[in-house]
Amino acid sequence: MKVTWLAVIVALGAVVAGLPNDARAAGGGGDDRPARPALEKPVDADYTAAVKAIKSEKFAVAIPLLEGVVKRDATNADAYNWLAYATRKSGDPAASIPIYQKALALDPKHRGAHEYIGEAYLILGDLAKAREHLARLDSLCFFSCEEYRDLKKAVEQYEKKNGKTSGTR
């Protein structure tokens, strides 16, 4: 009897769907004990307010909030990424570079930081550095991802505007 991967996946999905919610959240087991809570950091109100401000394009409001977040938690790659993003969008792409680099030092696979630092390099006219981050995204995204596609598009637009040729996939 030949079993296809699709049949196996469908069968596993049916088994998981039949488990109580707390068993699925805990990773299975199916006993009557409640699921253990995930080990997550508590939500930082300043971080939440900063992200909301960024989404409203109030970058100057977000920057001091995020500076406070990274001062309290110097391991928060997402906060550094948002801080760099707000800094870049406030008109200072050069100042955003070391902040993105900090995010990437904390999380070398941070796709958003790779995309945004690449965009910052394009603003600064450094196509080679932007391409480095595009290549890194290419290796991080098994089947293309939004960050790769967005940076690729930005690189292509930069090349078209500046008469360069693309070496991207």
Average pLDDT of every residue of the chain: 81
Question: Following CA atoms 37, 41, 43, 47 in sequence, which dihedral angle do they give, to the nearest 10 degrees?
Answer: -160
- With cut-offs at 50, 70 and 90, classify the pLDDT of residue 41: low
68 and 129 belong to one structural domain: yes
77 and 150 belong to one structural domain: yes
Q: What is the pLDDT of residues 53-76, one digit of tens each?
A: 999 999 999 999 999 999 999 999
Q: What is the pLDDT of residues 90-116, one digit of tens each?
A: 999 999 999 999 999 999 999 999 999
With respect to residue 145, please indicate whether it lies within any of the assigned structural domains.
yes
With respect to residue 141, please indicate whether it lies within any of the assigned structural domains.
yes
Confidence (pTM): 0.73
Containing domain of residue 8, as a range? 1-29
> For residue 40, what pLDDT is reported?
60
70 and 108 belong to one structural domain: yes
Taking each continuous run of H as one helix and of E as one strand, the counts in the chain are 9, 0
CA distances from 150 to 28, 111, 118, 121, 153 (A): 37, 11, 10, 14, 5
> For residue 82, what pLDDT is reported?
98
Residue at token pair 């006993």: 31
63 and 138 belong to one structural domain: yes
Q: What is the pLDDT of residues 146-155, one digit of tens each?
A: 999 999 999 9
- With cut-offs at 50, 70 and 90, classify the pLDDT of residue 142: confident
Q: How many domains does the chain have?
A: 2
Selection from 125, 33, 120 nearest residue 81 by Cα: 120
156 and 129 belong to one structural domain: yes
